[in-house]
Amino acid sequence: MSQQRTGGGSGLNGRAGAVGFSGNVIDFPDLPEATVARLPEYLRALHHLADTGHDTVSSEGLANAAGVNSAKLRKDLSHLGSYGTRGVGYDIAPLIGQIEYVLGLTSRRAVALVGVGNLGHALANYGGFSSRGFRIAALFDADRSRVGERINGLVVQHVSEIPATVKAESISIAVLATPASAAQTVADQLIEAGVTSILNFAPCVLSVPDRVDVRKVDLAIELQILSFHEHRKSAEDRKSARINGEVRT
């Protein structure tokens, strides 16, 4: 997934005191963006370990489950003040609590989804959001023929209802699944209504204020990156075959 931009610099730095998961007043950790990107993977792996009856996990075990090396994992978790216990590893339940606190997942966040075409419809029906700390609270579309349609228990509203619904549902995060031609206009509407974070599936770059964070998901770009790796492997195979042929001759 490619990232368009994140407001507030290269790390997450909140110097004002915040109430941590333990109830103590702490400084919010100053985290590198790369660490932030890996925390959800650690959380997913920890939940799976907890669900399968584990109480502790070694750094190597958690790193393997999350698909990173153990040194990187230990450095990431040290930013949270978690160093584990030699010979035991990490206590899973407290570590889940730490990561969920840092990610702001101690209560389920309301999310708006704009654009209920094929992609938006699929996202609206995705059941994985609720288990990750989110609930789709509102669906919007500019096409009046889609307004009133019921998807996964929610009624699609017209985009003109964005301001009132964002306020009523205390929505700060929105998912944008509109055509590229409509994305900037809808983003402006969302931001004016009070949304400060956008997950953008539209194949375009959004212009937003510094206070608004944007994550961009472009599946075509991801496929192009995979195509590069396939191209490289093919070139390496041809080179290897040519060298082997020269050796045999």
Same domain, yes or no, for 184 and 156? yes
Q: Is the pLDDT of residue 2 over 50?
A: no
User: What is the residue range of 32's domain?
Assistant: 11-102
On whether both 125 and 69 belong to a single domain, the answer is: no
pTM for the model stands at 0.78
Task: Give the pLDDT confidence of 174-190 residue by residue, as tens digits.
Answer: 999 999 999 999 999 99
Pair (89, 78) in one structural domain: yes
**Does 241 lie in the same domain as 171?**
no
Give the whole-angstrom CA distance, residue 63 versus residue 202.
33
What's the total number of domains in the chain? Answer: 3
Is residue 147 domain-resident?
yes
230 and 199 inside one domain = no
User: Are 185 and 224 within one domain?
Assistant: no
**CA dist., res. 157 & res. 168, Å (int):** 14
- Do 233 and 140 belong together in one domain? no
Chosen domain end from 85, 102, 119: 102
**Dihedral-angle region of residue 206 (phi above 0 means left; psi in -120 to 50 means alpha; beta otherwise):** beta
Instruction: Note the pLDDT tens digit of each residue in 49-72.
Output: 999 999 999 999 999 999 999 999
Give the torsion sign (CA, 143, 144, 148, 154). positive
- Clarify whether residues 192 and 212 are in a common domain: yes
User: Do residue 190 and residue 150 come from a single domain?
Assistant: yes
Residue 85 DSSP symbol? B
130: which residues sit within 8 A by CB, 6+ positions away? Answer: 108
Q: 94 with 77: CB under 8 angstroms?
A: no
Residue 4 included in any domain:
no
Domain-embedded: residue 185: yes
Q: Are residues 74 and 18 in the same domain?
A: yes
Residue 245's pLDDT is: 73
